[in-house]
């Protein structure tokens, strides 16, 4: 005779409960909100750095132009201005 009083064990996993799903959804929403905030922060920093890079590039260009003008003026006056590539390092 067969004993049907004991429940059978199943090999399948029980589906997650509503509370489990809500907890997972809350965790995912929290992560997405954090990532959105982080992306906004990174975007702002990249924009600031791009502006700073542009400003430094303009300053560098102006400094090169002025240095070239100064060398040209010294050459026109007949003076000799040593060029950095012609100077020996201090340890020589």
Residue 45 near residue 52 (C-beta atoms within 8 A): no
How high is the pLDDT of residue 1?
52
CA–CA gap between residue 38 and residue 45 (Å, rounded): 11
Q: Does pLDDT of 84 surpass 80? A: no
How high is the pLDDT of residue 4?
60
How high is the pLDDT of residue 49?
98
More confident residue, 58 or 17: 58
Q: With pLDDT > 70 as the criterion, what percentage of the chain qualifies? A: 78
Residue 81 near residue 71 (C-beta atoms within 8 A): yes
Q: Does pLDDT of 48 surpass 90? A: yes
pTM: 0.53
Q: List the structure tokens of 6.
A: 């004991």
Q: Mean per-residue pLDDT for 50-59?
A: 98
């Amino acid at each position: 005779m067969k004993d049907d009083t004991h429940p059978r064990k199943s090999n399948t996993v029980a589906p997650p409960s509503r509370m489990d799903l809500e907890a997972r959804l809350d965790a995912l929403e929290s992560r997405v909100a954090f990532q959105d905030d982080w992306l906004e922060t990174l975007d702002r920093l990249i924009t600031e750095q791009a502006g700073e890079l542009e400003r430094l590039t303009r300053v560098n260009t102006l400094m090169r132009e002025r240095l070239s003008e100064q060398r040209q003026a010294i050459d026109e006056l007949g003076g000799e201005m040593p060029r950095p590539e012609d100077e020996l390092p201090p340890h020589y």
